[in-house]
Amino acid sequence: MDRKNGKLGLILPSVLLYSILIFGGLFIIFKESLGYIPKLGLNEISLKYYINVLDKTHFRSMVYAIAIAVVSSGFSMIIGAFIAYRMTRSQSIKSSMLFIRFGMVLPYLYMIFIVTLSFSQSGLLSRLCHNLGLITSTDVFPNLIYGFWGIVLTFTLKGIPFVALLTYNVMRQISSRFDDVALTLGGSKWQIFKTIYLPLTRDTIVWSGMVLYIYQIGAFEVPYLLNKIKYQSFAVKIYSSYLSPKISDIPQTMALSILLFFVGLITSALYAIALRYLIKKVAE
């Protein structure tokens, strides 16, 4: 018990510090979302700013952001878990670890550049298809960059190394005796992955998926640069509102931020529950 309390005492100062910073910031934002900003001459507390943002436009933007986060984090988890499993089967993983570490430290803006360079209508893939005679011109190549799937592609490629690294660190600690017993009983590689590795790494996969989901639902730079004008992610709308020169728009911006925080908190919990259930069903 003393050892447990000692470990708790080591992390308690950091927990208290971050709690003060996070909840203190939330309190200030919530206060401003009610229209109480005395320094700017706004002294009336009201819920009208929350009422103003509860419209169809913001609802569609929120659903759009949730859809992007669910699809991209889902793809990242599936591909990342598969890569991690294949790495446990491989004798040499130096090249794989180099790729994963490079993907981990690569900023999102660089990933946008790589995706655009590779998958745009004038990119490497379209030129390769044209040189091979698969398409008549690069203009015929589908527009994979700007819009929903371009954002999903960027988020997915950036999230795969994160999931793969975390999952591999857990999978490599699983005893090979499980594999030997399963092979003796006639189990295939898919059955070994499904019934042994997947259940034992379920918490890691779900946790990594939640981290990606929470980040992506509030991410700004990727949807801002790769979005179509017709659709806007919720974070992009908040940024556009933040740039408004009207002082009266500041409380509305803060109301949108509070709304994003609570929606992200609730949906991430539901997402984690759904992921655990799906992985359990797949493993059965």
Per-residue pLDDT of 164-182, as tens digits, reads 999 998 988 887 777 767 7
Give this prediction's pTM. Answer: 0.87
Clarify whether residues 10 and 100 are in a common domain: no
CA distance 36 to 44: 6
The number of folded domains in the chain is 2
Clarify whether residues 164 and 270 are in a common domain: yes
Clarify whether residues 91 and 205 are in a common domain: yes
Clarify whether residues 226 and 274 are in a common domain: yes
Host domain of residue 28: 1-33
Clarify whether residues 59 and 184 are in a common domain: yes
Percentage of the chain beyond pLDDT 90 is 32
Clarify whether residues 5 and 59 are in a common domain: no
Q: Shortest CA distance to 112 belongs to which of 161, 145, 75, 138?
A: 145
pLDDT digits (tens, 9 = 90+) for 60-90: 999 999 999 999 999 999 999 999 988 887 7
Residue bearing tokens 């793969």: 164
Clarify whether residues 27 and 99 are in a common domain: no
Average pLDDT, the chain: 86
Mean of pLDDT values over 19-31: 86
Clarify whether residues 60 and 10 are in a common domain: no
Clarify whether residues 69 and 175 are in a common domain: yes
Work out whether the CA dihedral 151, 153, 154, 159 comes out positive or negative. positive
Cβ proximity of 206 and 276 under 8 Å: yes
Cβ proximity of 196 and 175 under 8 Å: no
Residue 201: is it exposed, middle or buried by C-beta count within 10 angstroms (0-12/13-18/19+)? buried
SS3 233: coil
> Of 3-12, 16-25, 62-71, 174-183, which one has max mean pLDDT?
62-71
Clarify whether residues 115 and 165 are in a common domain: yes
Clarify whether residues 27 and 91 are in a common domain: no
Residue bearing tokens 């430290």: 105
Clarify whether residues 2 and 60 are in a common domain: no
Residue 18: is it exposed, middle or buried by C-beta count within 10 angstroms (0-12/13-18/19+)? exposed
**Up-side HSE of residue 168: CA atoms within 13 Å toward CB?**
21
